[in-house]
Each structure stands twice: as C-alpha cells, then as structure tokens.
Amino acid sequence: MHYNLCLCIDYAFNSLRLSPGGPKILLSLQDMMKKLDNNALWNEAAKAGAYLGAVCITCLTLRELAHASGIEFLKTAADVILWTVQFLSCILLVKDVMISVRDRYEGVKMADTFRLGRRAALLSGLLLASAQTLFILRMPEADMNAYIDALTAALPVGSAGREQVEEAMDNLPVLTFFSQWIYCYLYGTGLSAVMSRYIFLQKLFGMVPPKDENKPDEQ
C-alpha cells in the first residue's frame, strides 16, 4: 500500500510538472514547504558561523605570521589592515546571510534574523576563541618571557610581582578562550540587532527589488 501511495504521488507531481501552469505551482509549493523552523535556523547559523570563523581565523593567522617576522612596520600594518578587513567582512557577511535567509524562507521575521545572527556569533566566536587559545599554547617560551618582561615593566611591581604575573600567565589560555568567546558573542549580538532591523526597514520602505524582477519572461 505504501508503494502504491508513492507511485500515485509521483504520478501526480509528474502530471503537474508537465501541465501548462505546473512549474509555477510546484515552485509555490516548494516555497510554502520551506519554513524557517528551529532546525533550519541552527543549520543556517552553523554555515554562517563557519564562514565568519574562517575569515576571523585567517586574519588572526596572518597577524601572527606578521608578528613572528619581528619587523615593526609589518606588525603595525598587519594589525591595522587585517583588523579593518575582519571588521568589514563580518558586517557584510552577516548582512548577506540575513538577506539570503529572509528571501529563501517563508514568513521570516525580524526576530528570526536576530536569532540567526546571535547563534552565528556564538559559533564563530567558539572557533575564533579556540584558534586564539591554540596560538597561545604554542607560543615559544622566549616570546612568553618577553611578554612577561614587558608586562612587568609596565606595572609597578618588583620581583614578587613578577612571580604573580608568571602564575597568572598559567591561566592565560583559559582566560583568553572565555574572554574572546564572550566578546565575539556580545559584538555579534549588537551587530545582529542593528542589521536585522536594517534589512527589514529596507524591505518595509520598498528598497528591495521583487524576487522575480530579474527572471526572463516565459515564452
């Protein structure tokens, strides 16, 4: 019985596809079935988080390579340029992902895109915090001692204070992981709040072209 039912459904869809107005009806049915439920929202957030994390980790890696060169000009230039690239890329990626989800799913609301951005920030922050922690764990001992010396020189502490700084450095990977993750989540939440409102205000005031505007007319 189940096999016969599948044959009937397949026959109905094929007949509808071959009918004069069938393709438009099938597209309408497909659009109606694409609802942004919780699973779909997490899937979209996971893809967006992977893109954002890849961009941020790439910029982080290039900055670390520039700092490893020891050239002051290269380090300063890398910090400024890569920070700008990372900042603008995150904004543009979040905007594009929200617009894509809004246009591909039925009945997407402002709250949905806001939740999408928050979840993407949570996941991308996890990736970036893990990469940052890995770089600290793999930091050469000479670089770590130089960092401790610079920190000790900047603070009014003596030899006893240096020992306290060294003890604090033991917890640096854990502190870096959670502080970086929290920072990314908070920044992503603020960005999502602004961008989700922006794209829906754009749609409200008619600044978004219709979906079928660029499609050729059917003969």
Q: How many domains is the chain built from?
A: 1
Domain assignment present for residue 182? The answer is yes
CA 30 to chain centre: 27
Lowest-pLDDT range of 18-27, 44-53, 209-218 = 209-218
C-alpha 56/C-alpha 89 separation (Å) is 9
- pLDDT at 4 exceeding the cut of 80: no
* CA trace torsion 151, 155, 158, 163 (10° rounding): -40
Task: List, for residues 38-86, the tens digit of each pLDDT value.
Answer: 999 999 999 999 999 999 999 999 998 998 888 889 989 999 999 999 9
Is residue 80, in this structure, part of any structural domain at all? Answer: yes
- Report if residue 218 sits inside a domain: no
Range of the domain at 166: 35-204
| Domain membership flag for residue 43 | yes
Report yes or no on 4 lying in a domain.
no
**Domain annotation covers residue 146:** yes
Question: Rounded CA gap, 35 and 196, in Å?
Answer: 18
- Tell me whether residue 147 is in a domain: yes
pLDDT band at 34 (very low <50, low <70, confident <90, very high): confident
Instruction: Summarize pLDDT for 162-204 with one digit per residue, the tens.
Output: 677 677 777 888 988 999 999 999 999 999 999 999 888 876 6
Q: What is the pLDDT of residue 196?
A: 92
Residue 24 in tokens: 């438009």
CA distance 77 to 54: 21
- Residue 9 maps to a domain: no
Confidence tier at 107 by pLDDT (50, 70, 90)? confident
Residue, of 208 and 148, whose pLDDT is higher? 148
Q: Which residues contact 123 (CB under 8 A, 6 or more apart)?
A: 45, 46, 48, 49, 50, 53
118-169 per-position pLDDT tens digit: 999 999 999 999 999 999 888 877 777 777 777 677 666 666 666 776 777 7
